[in-house]
Amino acid sequence: MNDESRIVTVFGGARVPADDGLYTECVQLGRLLGEAGFVVASGGYTGTMEAVLRGASEAGAHTIGYTCATFEADFQPNPWVAEERKTRVLSARIQRLAEESDAFVVVHGGLGTLAELALVWNMMLAGELAVKPLAVVGPEWPRVIDQVHAETQMGSSALRLLTLAATPQQAVQRLQALLAG
């Protein structure tokens, strides 16, 4: 399978304005993923979801927005969504993202981002989903993961499924290495 057919989904927050540094980082992440030849997907709405698709689209990559009827009253797909894959409910949206993606990148976000990370991570740990690259990017993630590990029954087998990356460049390099191996 070549990179052009591999979908990398980015999970992140909706409440990030275009003048925020995180938005800029996510544009860069999307651009790097697009330049690496990946199809780039996100939830398809605002904030980091918009930023990553914008960067990928500007790099000439195909973009996918996984939208959900649950959010129709409040949100419309962002203008960088080339292909919309819509589900009826949030749980079906996450399930579809998990099944159709070849790798995941998680950036700073809110409760939805944390839920997406936890569900995909646990599905892989439980064997319900094939093990796929799962990278978390940003300075907050080591602290979050350390705290979750310290306060739960999470074992080392779960930690081995996760890749920490400090920058978008590092995340893309690690995904490429993991997908090549």
Residue 2 has pLDDT above 60, yes or no: no
- The number of beta carbons lying within 10 Å of the beta carbon of residue 139 is 9
Instruction: Tell me if 37 sits within 8 A of 3, measured CB to CB.
Output: yes
Predicted model pTM: 0.95
Its CATH class, for the domain covering 3-175, is alpha beta
Q: Report pLDDT digits (tens) over 79-138.
A: 999 999 999 999 999 999 999 999 999 999 999 999 999 999 999 999 999 999 999 999
- Please report the pLDDT score of residue 5 as a whole number: 85
The reported pLDDT for the residue numbered 1 is 40
Q: Which residues are 164's β-sheet partners?
A: 136
Residue 16, pLDDT > 80, answer: yes
- For the chain, give every domain's residue range: 3-175
Q: Are the C-beta atoms of residues 32 and 56 closer than 8 Å to each other?
A: no
